[in-house]
Amino acid sequence: MCYEITMSRLIKAHWAIHGATIKTVSLEQMTLTVEWIENDSIKGKEVRIGKAFIFSASKLNWYVSCCISELLMSLWLPLARRKSNIVKEMEKMKNKREEKRAQFSEIRNKRAQEFDSSCPNWEFARMVKEYRASITCQSISMNDPIEEHRICVCVRKRPLNKQELGKRECDIITVVNKNSILVHEPKVKVDLTKYLENQHFCFDYSFDEKASNEMVYWFTARPLVQTIFEGGMATCFAYGQTGSGKTHTMGGDFSGKVQKASKGIYAFASQDVFLLQNQARYKAQGLEVYVTFFEIYNGKLFDLLNKKAKLRVLEDGKQQVQVVGLQEMRVNCAEDVIRMIEIGSACRTSGQTFANSSSSRSHACFQIILRRKGKLHGKFSLVDLAGNERGADTSSADRQTRMEAAEINKSLLALKECIRALGQNKQHTPFRESKLTQVLRDSFIGTNSRTCMIAMISPCMNSCEYTLNTLRYADRVKELPHNGTTSERQNSMETENEELCINEESANTSPCELQLSEDEMSPHLSSFRKALTRISELEEKAIEELKDIKERMNDCNGLLDMAEQPEYDMEAFVHQAQCFINEGSESFFSLKVMQELYISYTRWKRVG
């Protein structure tokens, strides 16, 4: 904005000093316009305020300088008092920010009073509670109908345990209804703002923390009992993180460290087996009930009902998997079964992990077998899988624990590959990748087979990553074409039998020689699994050689007895001693070679 001001002003022009009049002043541009008379003509010029006064100051007398000073004060003081629009806007924004911060602080303090602020994750707990209040949840009940599924996949959420309650852990799992479950995954933005990413999963059944073992059994394993009386194969396995409640669900409730075997799926299934056996339509068939209980630990099978005797898994000429040496115990009532469960559970291998001080480190398989005149009629396999762990969780553990975790993850990966092969209708299903899938083979490829998977999840926030991995694993199983026709399954099984038809030479082929495609398995993982399998084979061969050497010791004792006789045939003694030395040398040399190979593979695995 410009102002009209008249004043005597001196400027320099053509080396002469003239009186000038200030016509206009522009405060925005900090300029002024002056006019003066020179040679009877009016001239004008626009100059910057600072330059004009500074340039002229040395040439003005004292009086004029005072006048200019007064003018400067009259021009600059109003300018200094004024604030630009930008400054005003910035001050408004600052005030608004302070007001919002005060409001947020007030809301935060109010919410902190509603929640225990001493809880490390109380903000996430509040967000979860607010989200749950905005939706309607309805848990599954015993009155809900039971649906028929060839492959049933369900999820069970366990309650927070005493240790988690002591740490005030946040529950991030919400069971919406009988089919849906939500995971409230905690997230933090770049500006450190906390929020929840709600991930939704759908399964055949979803059980919240209030569901009992009996309710879980009612919807999962109970519908499968009828299958074995119809001459089929049934499998129910519990999968999940260490400490998620698998053994609790399958074996029974815990009272301290004592397990109530009568309150688990093992016992519930056996009770229903005897109920059906006594029905008129099955009683006339003369079915007999047997049970077996074994564990798979570090790729080896052990009979839990026979003092953990080591077992061997072989295939007969009909390509049926046989567990050599496994004892089948005849049972006549549910009480007999419970006693067998207690005996086997007491022998099961356990160890300490990051998540559980007494974690099951093996896959336990409890089988209920029906036989008719000695022939197999049906089989129900109830499997309590070992807890899945990441390599990072065992990196600080000892070598034995790392080997356990590697073998567990190898078998679980093999199980996943078999499920993937079934879902994609592949011609070859890699059952030989682990002992677990070998044992469960007939339950996957049988024409009259049914499978149920119970995915166990932990509700605490620290287990969020494991929970999501478990749910994704279960979701992969759920993607299978459950309603495939019987003819398609039969053709798939026949194709597999043709490809897996083996002679005596190929029967000794390493399981890992049956390679998966490159997009399914990385080269490093394939080599790692080969090394594990090779180590297991060398160990078994070394044990066989030691047994052979032990038997030859009897021949040595016979030679000593011969030499102690008063009269003995020296020539026969020398001949037998020479044979003993030659055969023993071969055994010891073979044992030494296997030992060196075992050491080299073990070192490679440790480095890899």
- State residue 303's pLDDT score: 93
242 is in an annotated binding site: yes
Rounded CA gap, 35 and 42, in Å?
Answer: 7
247 is in an annotated binding site: yes
Judged by average pLDDT, the poorest of 316-330, 391-405, 492-506 is: 492-506
Torsional class of 553: left (φ above 0), alpha (ψ -120 to 50), beta (otherwise): alpha
Is the pLDDT confidence value at 62 over 70? Answer: no
Pick from 225-239, 470-484, 499-513 the range whose average pLDDT is largest.
225-239
Is the pLDDT confidence value at 601 over 50? Answer: yes
Q: What is the mean pLDDT of residues 567-595?
A: 70
Rounded CA gap, 515 and 510, in Å?
Answer: 10
Is the pLDDT confidence value at 78 over 60? Answer: no
Per-residue confidence band for 9, with pLDDT thresholds at 50, 70 and 90? very low
443 is in an annotated binding site: no
Domain coordinates in residue numbering, the chain: 2-81, 129-513, 523-607
- State residue 513's pLDDT score: 36
> What is residue 169's DSSP assignment?
P
Nearest CA among 183, 139, 159, 140 for reference residue 471: 183
Q: 356-369 b/e with 16+ CB inside 10 Å = b?
A: beebbbbbbbbbbb
The domain 129-513 is placed in CATH, from the list 1.10.630.10, 3.30.565.10, 3.40.50.970, 3.40.850.10, at: 3.40.850.10
394 is in an annotated binding site: no
What are 326-374's pLDDT values in tens digits?
999 999 999 999 999 999 988 887 655 444 545 567 899 999 999 998 8
Is the pLDDT confidence value at 539 over 60? Answer: yes
* Residue 460 or 545, more confident: 460
Angle, helices 399-423 vs 464-478, to 10°: value is 30
Query: Which whole-number Å values give the CA distances from 339 to 141, 336, 579, in the listed order?
Result: 31, 5, 51
- State residue 497's pLDDT score: 38
Q: What is the mean pLDDT of residues 528-552?
A: 65
Tokens 């990966």: give the residue.
413
Fold type of domain 2-81: SH3 type barrels. (2.30.30)
- State residue 22's pLDDT score: 76
Is the pLDDT confidence value at 172 over 50? Answer: yes
- State residue 341's pLDDT score: 92
Judged by average pLDDT, the poorest of 151-165, 541-555, 591-605 is: 591-605
Is the pLDDT confidence value at 559 over 90? Answer: no
* Residue 383 or 492, more confident: 383
- State residue 167's pLDDT score: 84
Nearest CA among 287, 316, 306 for reference residue 380: 287
Q: What is the mean pLDDT of residues 168-183?
A: 91
244 is in an annotated binding site: yes
Tokens 């093999």: give the residue.
414
246 is in an annotated binding site: yes
Provide the H-helix boundaries in 289-398: 334-347
Judged by average pLDDT, the poorest of 198-207, 288-297, 313-322, 365-374 is: 313-322
446 is in an annotated binding site: no
